[in-house]
Amino acid sequence: MTVSREQYRALIEARIHEPAQLQTALVSRRRRSIPGHDGRLLIVAADHTARGMLAAAGDPLAVADRYTLLDRLTRVLAMPGVDGVLASADILEELAWLGALDDRLAFGTMNRGGIIGASWEIDDRMTAYDVDHVESCGLDGGKTLLRIDHNDPGTAGTLERVAAVTTQLADRKIMSMIEPLPYVKDATGRAVLDTSDEALVKVVAIASGLGSSSAYTWLKIPGSNRMAEVAGATSMPILMLGGDPGADAERTFDRWRTSLEEPNVRGLVAGRTLLYPHGEEPEQAVARAASIVHPTPTTGGKS
């Protein structure tokens, strides 16, 4: 499935003349169960633009072109072994309008207020989906980003908001997907990821304890060379993120493959690694990821 220029122009016209079509398409999409037959998930992440993260594959504005992004997303969502997508409301509604979300999972991103590079980046406010609309739009879960910097006062507010959202989603029996990441400031004062495994273990433990119920909590974290220790810090299902590995995608794929040997590591939520791979088409990268997540054949993404 591809998106033609005519379809894209029709989408723009629908936004102007029939905007309710976008909402209706999302709410009325054909749904499926979350875990599928093997309890594993391959989710394509497309929520980067909502917090200003536009770079991929060496191009600082690669993800900014909406037509290209939608075309790549619809192509990979049609592939066997792909279970769904994580995105902000604009992208989910557009994909639904294009007919790309039937029998696919749809997760709504929630806190996108921590704009990349902003002085308040760690103080990550809820600017996308809220809990009520995750439910009313028929989404399969809500995702929150939880960057923990011990020296940034914005961490406290973000922790409180993520905990509240997790409780509210659990009350509705809806998945809360938390992405806990350890952060520090570099020499220029910019927020950067702390890549130490010890720090990752700590934030996994913290995220596991958020909210008044953990029953519907899944975690989204980086793969690790010490995944037994990282995954061992929680009993919650874990999905690994991708990021932008640059030209060293092989290392990322190898780490995913090894990490999936842990019993609670249940798949991937990867975006730029799959949608904007170096030196190959998205279909090639996604096929490789699907073979890792779903080693037995699947049909139409109904894993």
| 246-259 average pLDDT score | 84
Question: Which amino acid appears at position 173 of this protein?
Answer: K
- Cβ burial, residue 217 (10 Å; 0-12/13-18/19+): buried
Q: Which domains are present in the chain?
A: 5-293 (3.20.20.70)
- Give per-residue pLDDT as tens, 75-114: 999 999 999 999 999 999 999 999 999 999 999 999 999 9
The tokens describing 300, both together, are 């139409």
Q: Is the pLDDT of residue 12 over 90?
A: yes
Q: Which residues contact 279 (CB under 8 A, 6 or more apart)?
A: 247
- Give per-residue pLDDT as tens, 87-96: 999 999 999 9
pLDDT computed for residue 129 by the predictor: 98
Q: How confident is the model at residue 297 (pLDDT cuts 50, 70, 90)?
A: low
Q: How confident is the model at residue 19 (pLDDT cuts 50, 70, 90)?
A: very high
pLDDT computed for residue 303 by the predictor: 47
| 220-240 average pLDDT score | 96
Q: Is the pLDDT of residue 299 over 70?
A: no
The C-alpha angle with vertex 247 and arms to 244 and 252, in degrees rounded to 5, equals: 60
- Give per-residue pLDDT as tens, 132-186: 999 999 999 999 999 999 999 999 999 999 999 999 999 999 999 999 999 999 9
> Percent of the chain, pLDDT > 90?
90
pLDDT computed for residue 203 by the predictor: 98
pLDDT computed for residue 21 by the predictor: 98
pLDDT computed for residue 300 by the predictor: 47
Which one, of 124, 130, 118, lies nearest residue 179 by Cα?
124
Which one, of 257, 240, 263, lies nearest residue 294 by Cα?
257
pLDDT computed for residue 71 by the predictor: 98
pLDDT computed for residue 228 by the predictor: 97
Q: Is the pLDDT of residue 245 over 90?
A: no
Q: CB count, 10 Å around CB of 68?
A: 14
Q: Is the pLDDT of residue 214 over 90?
A: yes
Backbone angles phi, psi at 33, to 5 degrees: -75, 155
Question: Which amino acid appears at position 89 of this protein?
Answer: A
Q: Is the pLDDT of residue 247 over 70?
A: no
Q: Is the pLDDT of residue 201 over 50?
A: yes
Mean pLDDT score of the chain, rounded to an integer?
Answer: 94
